A = this chain, B = another copy of it.
Amino acid sequence: MINEHYVDMLKERSVIRAISERAAARRAEVGEQHVFDFSIGNPSVPTTHDFTEAMIDLYETESPIALHGYSPSTGLPVFTQAVADSLNRRFGMDYEPSHIYPTSGATAALAHAFRAVTKPGDEMITFAPYFPEYRPYSEAAGLTLTVLPCDPKDFQIDFAALEQAMNPNVQAILINTPNNPSGAVYSAATLQRLADLMRAKQEEYGHAIFLISDEPYREITFDGAEQPYPSKFYDNTLSCYSFSKSLSLPGERIGYVAVNPKAEQADIFGPMFTQISRCTGHNCPGASIQRAVARVIDETADLAVYGKNMELLYDTLIELGFEVVRPGGTFYMFPKALEDDANAFCEKAMHYDLFMVPSDSFGMPGYVRMSFCLDTSKVEAAIPALRRFVTEVYGR
């Protein structure tokens, strides 16, 4: 018989998807150029020329049997070595290739990380605002996801709330920095304080507490800042990554989990991950994409457009009187709505063909997420619409 559990899940519609579908319908109605769609986080820049060349070269010169043969379930050594070397060089880590487990994007990386360091019934903590998919992902692993508030002035961690929420059933803390949807970049001070607190609680409870760090936006930072590497601050860290954003390859599904070599039983993780893959039906990313990404491991697509869009949108929102924290990275901005009900705000904005996502499903009502992975000309074109909307509806 049909498994009703998955049918029931269909009732919880994704708000992001619903709004993006309304934007698409509106585009079909009035034309692309009249619709300002800030709903979806889909990279808007092309991947690098070198990546394309690497793939063509592999297909033109490698033996097809070697190129398309099974990858070991722990990944192709050429890929895990390239990732380990790159992280070691960039962040002063000491990863061996065996600490890198290739996954089909960050979603699969999280699925492995969650299962490796928790068991059903455990508690995991994360911080609002958070990526709404964390909820089904953690429920599927049998976890209780506790969402704690952040400090709304900068979206860093509210440590008083964390201190109070900690208890021996907490086996993992999940962070996402640079953060979707707030654009916040956790500072070294935040990461240091988090690590200190987690170490103290490990000591107090007598068991490891893992930091699961979701970092798909690691390379998209603004104003010359860089994302401090969370694993550098805390040994029991699993870093989850995807090349979707940095290399603009969202459809190619390639990422990894990196296990800090100083983590408790660090060397058991690779073998454990293969067992988790068996249980979930996961498979390594495709063999040829592993090889191509390995060749361009330190490259990124030209991400400068996101910074430019951020400036433009941020300045506009400030000028229009929004409360908004200047994003440190990602391609999202998270202004406060101009009325308490962000859903009502977003509905009204749609009359001006402005599509934004109300923040309720991000665990922090009253805000809106604006994705600015768009051509800059599109952001520029949206400004008059934003201005009209705010003036006509809110008298600003």
Contacts and interface: CB of A to CB of B under 8 A. Distances in A.
A117 B248 CA distance: 36
Contacts of A55: 55, 59
| Stoichiometry, copies per complex | 2
Nearest to A249: B68
Given A2-B272, A119-B5, A268-B2, A140 B70 contact: no
Q: How large is the interface on A (under 10, 10 to 19, 20 to 34, 35 or more residues)?
A: 35 or more
Max chain B C-beta neighbours (<10 A), residue from A248, A253, A268: A253
Interface stretch (A26-34, A81-89, A157-165, A274-282): A274-282
Nearest to A115: B3
Contacts of A305: none
A289 B285 CA distance: 11
A252 B286 contact: yes
Contacts of A67: 251
Interface stretch (A106-114, A220-228, A347-355): A106-114
Contact of A6 (B43, B64, B276): B276
Contacts of A250: 68-70
Interface string A265-295: 1001001100110111111111111000000
Interface string A195-208: 00000000000011
Max chain B C-beta neighbours (<10 A), residue from A9, A55, A136, A282: A282
Interface of A: 1-7, 9-10, 42-47, 52, 55-56, 59-60, 63-65, 67-71, 103-105, 107-112, 115-119, 133, 136-137, 139-140, 171, 207-208, 248-254, 264-265, 268, 271-272, 275-276, 278-289
